[in-house]
Amino acid sequence: MKRRIGILTSGGDCPGLNAAIRGVARASYELFDAEFVGIADGYKGLIEGDYREMSRSEFSGILTLGGTILGTSRQPYRNMRVIEDDNVDKVEAMKANYKKMGLDCLVTLGGNGTHKTANLLSEEGLNVIGLPKTIDNDIWGTDVTFGFHTAVDIATDVVDRIHTTANSHGRIMVIELMGNKAGWLTLYAGIAGGADIVLLPEIPYRLETVIASIERRIEHHRSFTIIAIAEGAYDKSWADKKRKERAQLLKEGNFPSVSYYLADQIQKETGLETRVVVPGHYQRGGSPSPYDRVLSTQFGVYAAHLIAEENYGQTVAMKGGQVSHNSLKAVAGKTKFVPVDHQMVQCGRDIGISFGE
């Protein structure tokens, strides 16, 4: 039985997307008579009907390629049912283009927002399979997402390299890593890179605690301090404020982000030279690590099996070392945060890392 499969990548790019696309396609070709339709730029392409027939050869030579051969864009879930100035009903447009393409199912590769829209389409009657992608590792129900380990490698390399310049100049270095809501990337890279202070969105920090940790290092003849901070971290005094309100406070102080705000406070309070490093989108780029190539391939193959079984409305997951799946309904709208008592957090505490509490 021939199956016609649409595939798209949505949200932020990350290493491993092409490896996952390849895994879905190659396994599908082995399991059943398959043909693929590549949808450009995520849900934007599905809304606008921007797609192309894909040949088998397009899935070769992309295992190690970063980014996505399909292109991607951010289409906020909150706007999916909002009819804007263009007068387009996005949900109806996606359903119409799914039908126009003659699809038997749609495979979506993305993070939390992608999964919410995938579930919306599933509830509208489309056959949808999800694949969990994000460097933030914050998708509920899976131990790990593809792209995360590569980002940890990259972020750790940044922390490693900052050590030498921080030590040479006796500086406080504040390294801002990605993670707006969840701090998994900063937690892992902070521990792997030997950061002295790790600040996460899940554990609001106290400035006095951060400064006390710096001063304690000075007392032990450590002239420098490495602070790994997630972009979504914030001062405990702001805990009662919403994210938009915290962003407004930073804007009013002319601080590009929380790392600049923290660095300014540290330098004012201690007189110590403090610098900020923001690797930004560097953390998303380049070739996936061997781990992510394997994980992306495993996830893609599992997705092909779900298609073969016509087990739609699911998203692939890794649970306890085994590839499995969750329903899109169970995952949509949920975020996997770092528990304050997580084993990795306790591991950090046990080796002397301060979480600014």
The residues assigned a catalytic role are 136
C-beta of residue 197 within 8 angstroms of C-beta of residue 353? yes
- Backbone dihedral region of 352: left (phi > 0), alpha (psi from -120 to 50 degrees) or beta? left
C-beta separation of 353 from 196 below 8 A: yes
The answer to whether 75 and 117 have CB atoms below 8 angstroms apart is yes
Q: In whole angstroms, what is the distance from residue 117 CA to residue 108 CA?
A: 9
| DSSP codes of every residue in 261-282 | HHHHHHHHHH---EEEE--GGG
Q: Which amino acid is at 114?
A: T
How far CA 5 is from CA of 68, 96, 331, in Å, comes to 17, 15, 22
Residue with tokens 């805990």: 239
Burial category of 201 from C-beta neighbours within 10 Å (exposed 0-12, middle 13-18, buried 19 and up): buried
The Cα–Cα gap between 151 and 185 comes to 7
Q: Where are the beta strands (DSSP E) in 88-215?
A: 105-110, 128-132, 172-177, 197-199
- No. of H helices and E strands in the chain? 12, 11
- Rounded CA-CA distance 55/6 in Å is 13
Which two tokens mark 78? 């909150």
Cα→Cα distances 34→26, 99, 308, 332, Å: 10, 17, 10, 28
